Structure 1
Amino acid sequence: MNFKWFLAYRYFRGRTTGSAFLSFIKIMAVAGVAIGSAGLLIALSIVHGFSSVIQEKILGYGTHISISTYADDPLYRSDTLAVYLQDIPGVDDSQAVIYSQGMVQTRDFAEGTFIKGVDRDGDLSNIRQYIRDGEYNLGPNEEGLPGAVIGARLARNLDASPGSVITAYAIRGMPTPLNLPQIQQFHVSGIYHTGIDQFDDVLMLVDVDYARGLFEMPPPRATQVDLRVADLDEIEKVSALLSDRLPFPYYTETIYERYRSIFAWINLQEQTIPFVIAVMIIVAAFNLIGTVLIMVLERTRDIGILKTMGANDKSVRSIFLIEGIIVGIAGLLIGIFLSLAFYVIQDTWQVIPLPEESYYMTAAPVQPRWFDFVLVSTITLILCALASWLPARVAARLNPLSVISYGR
C-alpha cells in the first residue's frame, strides 16, 4: 500500500491515546455527509416516484392524442379519418369516439359530467386497471340496460354502486318544450378509481352506439378520434407529424397539453426539491474544512517528523487530502445504505402515508435510479475533496523546525 494512503487510513482510524475528541469530530463529519447524501437520494427517489405514479395514472386514464375540429363541429367521416391515421408512423391504434357534456341522475341526486362513447370492447386508455368495484362491461344487462363505467367520486356523489340504474341527459342549450334533452338509462357496471379527483368526478364511459343515440349523432360522425402511440416517448413527435399532415380545421391535442397543469406541478417538484436538499450535502462537505484542520493541529508533530524524514509538501498535502476523501467515502457509503433501507421499508410497509385528495396517492412512492446514485456520489466526493484541499495545503506549508517541538 502507498505510504500516503497507509498514513491517511491510520489517521482516519485515530486509535491513539487522547484521540477521543478527534474521533468524535470525525464521526460528526461522517454523519453530516451520510445524512446529506441520504437525504438527497431519498428526496430524488420520492420525486421520481411521484412523477412516475402520476404520469402512469394520467397515461392510463387518458388517450395519448386526440383529434377534433376548431369549431367543435363533428367529424363527418370519422371512420375514414381513423383508418387513415392508423398508417401514420408511430400510431399504434385509433378509434372514433363521442365525447360531450351531459347530466347523469339517480333517484335522489344529479351531477354534471362528460359522457364518452367508445367501442363496446373498450377505449384506447388503460382505465380497466383502475376498476375498483364491479367490472368493465359496456354491454346490456339481463334487463337490456346498457352498461356504464363511472368514476369513484361521481359514484359517491350520486350514491351509486355496481348495479344501480342511472339516467343520462344530453343537454344542448337551454331546455324548452321545443328543445327537450335526449334521455337514456344505463346500469352501473363498474367504478374506476385513480385517486385524482378531477378524473374520478367527470367521466362516464358508455357504448358508442348508445352515445350516438343520446347525442343524435348518426354514424360515421364522431366528436373526436383518439390515438394510441406505440412509444410514449414519441407522443410529441407523432403529434407534430399529424399537425403537418392534417388540414384545417383539424387540430391535435396531446395528453401532456390536456393536463399541462398537473405535469407542470410534477416538473416544479423535480426542479426545486433536489436543489433545496442538495444544500445539505454542500454544508456537510464544507464541515470537513474544520474537521481536517483539527486533524492537522493534532498531527503537527507527525508532520514535522515526516518532513525531517524526507516527505515533501506534496506528500503531506496528499495525506490529509486523502483522509478528507476517506471521510467523504465513509459518509457516502452510509448514506447510500440508509437510502436503500428507506426504499425497502417504505415500499414494504408504507410508513409515510399521504392524503390522497392532495397528493393523488395514499403513500409516498419511492423509485431510486442508478443514475442518481452515480451523480450524488460523484458530487459528494468532489465537494469533499475541495473542502479538504485548504486544510491539507495548510498542513503542507508547516515548517518542520517549528512543529517538532509543538506543545512543549
Structure 2
Amino acid sequence: MDVPPVNTSVSSSHLSLCPSLATRLLLPSAYALLFLTALPGNALSLWVFLRRIATMSPTHVYLCHLSVSNLLLSVTAPFLAAYYARGWAWALRGVLCQLVLHGVTPVLHINVYISILILTWVALSRFAALIRHTHADRPSVCATLLPRAFFTRLTEAAFASRVCVTVWAVAVGGVVPVTVYYSVNEARSSEGAGCAEVCYNPVLEIGGSVSTTMVVVPISVFFMCYLLVIMSYMTVLSHIRRSRRNTHVTTSKRLLSRVLRNIVVIQVVLSVCLLPYNIFRPIFMSMTHHQDPPTFSPSASICDDCHPMSVFVEVKNALFLLALLRGSTDPVMYVLLDKIFRHQTFKLLRCNRGNRGGDNDGKPARCLVTGSAGLRSDQQVEGTTATATGDFSQGSFL
C-alpha cells in the first residue's frame, strides 16, 4: 500500500474503528443477557395475553403486539453479541456480516420505533379511559376540544388492533427502504477500502449521508410521541386536582391514581431507555458532518490509525443497547400497567410452582382454570366482584 505524504488527508473509510474492551466484552455480555431474559419473559407474556385472558382490552392488544416485537428482538440478540465480540475480525462480505447488515439491523430499528408508537397509544388509551369515566367540577379541556367519538374509539379493542397493524406497516415501511438503500449502496462504499473491509468499520457504524439524514424523521416522531405522553401526564394531574373537590366519587379517584401511575411508568420507560439515544443521535450526526478529514501519520500504516469517531461510535452503541434492553424489562412493565395481566401471570406462576413441588400432603397441585372456557368463567367471577364493589377500573378500561 502506498503511503500518503505527511499531513495528507485520507478518506475516513480507510481508517479502522478501534473497539475497546467495553465493546468486545461488555456489549456481547449485555446482548447475551438480553436474549436470556427477553425471550422467556416475552414468550410468557404473549402466552398470558393469548391464552389466559379471554376478553382483550385495548391495552392487552397493544402489549401483545409489543411482546411479538420484543420476541423478534430477542432472536437477533445472539447475532449482535457475536458481532460486537468478533465483528472487527469478520470479513465484510462474510455470511455473518451480511446477516447482521441485511437481517438484524432492520429488525432492531423496527422494534425501537414500534415500541415508541405502541407505548404512546397505550398512554392515550389510558387517558381516554380517564376522560370518559371520571368526574370533576368541570370537564377537561381535551374533552371539550376533541369529539366524544375519539375517546370512545381509543377504548375499543378493535380500534387498537387496527392501530397496531398501522404501526407495523409504518415502522416496516419506513425502516426497510432506508436500511436496504444503506446496505446496498452506502455499505458497499467501504469495499476496496483496504483495512475497512471488515464488518465493524466506519461506513457501517456511522452510515452514509442519505441514511444519516433520514434518521431525522424517526427522531422527530419520537419527540412528538414523548411530548404527547408528557401532555397526557400534565392533563391527568390537572384532572386529579379538579376531581379532589368531588370527595364522594371514590371510584373516580381510584381510576385517576391508576391512570396517573400507568402514564408515569410509560414516561419513565421512554425517558430512561429511549430518550438518551434519541438525544445523542442528532449530536452524533452533527459531529460526523462537521468532522475534519483525518490526517495520516507517516510513522505507521493507515490501518494502525484509529478513526477519530471510534469513541463516539461506542457511546452510540451503548445508548442503543439501553434502548434495546427495554425488551427485557417490558414484561415487568406489563405487570405494572395491567391488573388482569398481573393476576393471570401470578396465578400461572403459582400453579406451575405448585405442580413441581406438590402440596403439604404430598399430593400434586392442579391448575383449576384450564382452557378458554375456564378462563371466561374465572374472569366473569372477577368482573362480577368488581361490579359489586363499584370498581369498574378492573374491567376492560384498565
- TM-score (norm. length: structure 2): 0.25
Give the structure with the higher percent helix.
2
Larger Rg: 1
* Structure with greater proportional strand content: 1
- Using structure 1 for the length normalisation, give the TM-score: 0.24
